[in-house]
Structure formats: C-alpha cells, structure tokens
Amino acid sequence: MPQANWRYLQFRVGQQWYGIDVNDVIEVLPFMWLTELPGTTADVLGMMTLRDMVMPVLDLRLHFGQPNALLQLDSPIIAVRSAHGPLALVVDDVDDLEHVSEEQIAAQNGDDSPYVTGFARLPNHLLLLLDVSLLRAKTSSERAPAQ
C-alpha cells in the first residue's frame, strides 16, 4: 500500500520553522502597500488586495508573541486561502516546498498552540504545521479593546 505524502510550504518566524499545506497557498510575494485598519490588534498590519481579493495582513511574529522585526520591501508575504476567507501572513523567510510522509508527522497534543495541528520531524529541524483557517478565524474575531 502506498504511503501518504503531503506538501507544505516551509517558512520561518523568528528561529522556528512552520509549514502550511501547499493547497492553501495562493501566492508568495514581497511586502506591498497596505491599507491601515483601525480598531484591530497590533498583529493585524492592515488590509491588502491581491487579484480582486481583499484580505487582512497578519504579522506572525507579533501574533506569536515575538519581538517586532523591521519590515523591509523584500519581507515575504504568504497569501493563503482558508474556510473563513483569504489571509496574508508576514513572515521572516520562505524556504521551499517540503514533502512530508505520514511517518514524519506527529499530532499536536493539548491546547498549548491552537493554530498548530501537528509536527513534522525533518532531518534538520521540527516543522510546526499550521491551520490557516484557525488563524483567519481568530483574526476575524479579534478587535483591539476600546480606549
């Protein structure tokens, strides 16, 4: 019986590597002009339009509680589709597509990280597998507290 394989786009936030199912990826592009969105949390940088799709832009560094990094014109954005609509993720670095076999994947145990669905054991590092629908749902429901 053939073994199941998945493909993940591999990217880095801080020192940690993450993966998103390649079927959820719309495009990887350099940082672009954003429209500010008042009343959102600090990790929502604004909104952008890509091929007639309007989507919130989420800084994963801030979202995951890491120190802010200086955004550059070449800072990568990963545009993704989710069950709750499109979302753009600002990350530190985008690597390659990673083929992951069923044997390499371990399920996420517990509620420590609600966006991580599992872990892929790769030769050089652990890849945290993200659920973009959960990220998008959280982004849609969060608003900054009233001042």
Instruction: Give residue-wise pLDDT tens across range 92-144.
Output: 999 988 888 888 888 776 666 778 888 888 888 889 999 888 887 766 555 44
What was the pLDDT predicted at 116? 86
Indicate left, alpha or beta for 51 from its phi (over 0: left) and psi (-120 to 50: alpha): left
Task: Render the chain in DSSP notation, one character per residue.
Answer: -PPPEEEEEEEEETTEEEEEEGGGEEEEEE----B--TT--TTEEEEEEETTEEEEEEEHHHHTTPPP----TT-EEEEE--TT--EEEE-SEEEEEEEEEGGGEEE--SSS-TTEEEEEE-SSSEEEEE-HHHHHHHHHH--PPP-
Q: What is the pLDDT of residue 49?
A: 93
pLDDT digits (tens, 9 = 90+) for 5-60: 789 999 999 999 999 999 999 999 998 889 998 888 889 999 999 999 999 999 99
Look at residue 77 in the predicted model and tell me its pLDDT: 95
Q: What does the pLDDT read at residue 56? A: 94
pLDDT at 143: 43
Average pLDDT, the chain: 84
Domain ranges of the chain: 5-141
The answer, yes or no, to whether residue 145 has pLDDT greater than 80, is no
pLDDT at 83 exceeding the cut of 50: yes
Task: Say if residue 3's pLDDT is above 80.
Answer: no
Q: What is the pLDDT of residue 75?
A: 87
Of the two residues 77 and 111, the one the predictor is more confident about is: 77
Give exposure, 12-39, as e/b (b: 16+ Cβ within 10 Å).
Answer: bbeeebbbbbeebbbeeeebeebeeeee
CATH number for the domain running over 5-141 = 2.40.50.180
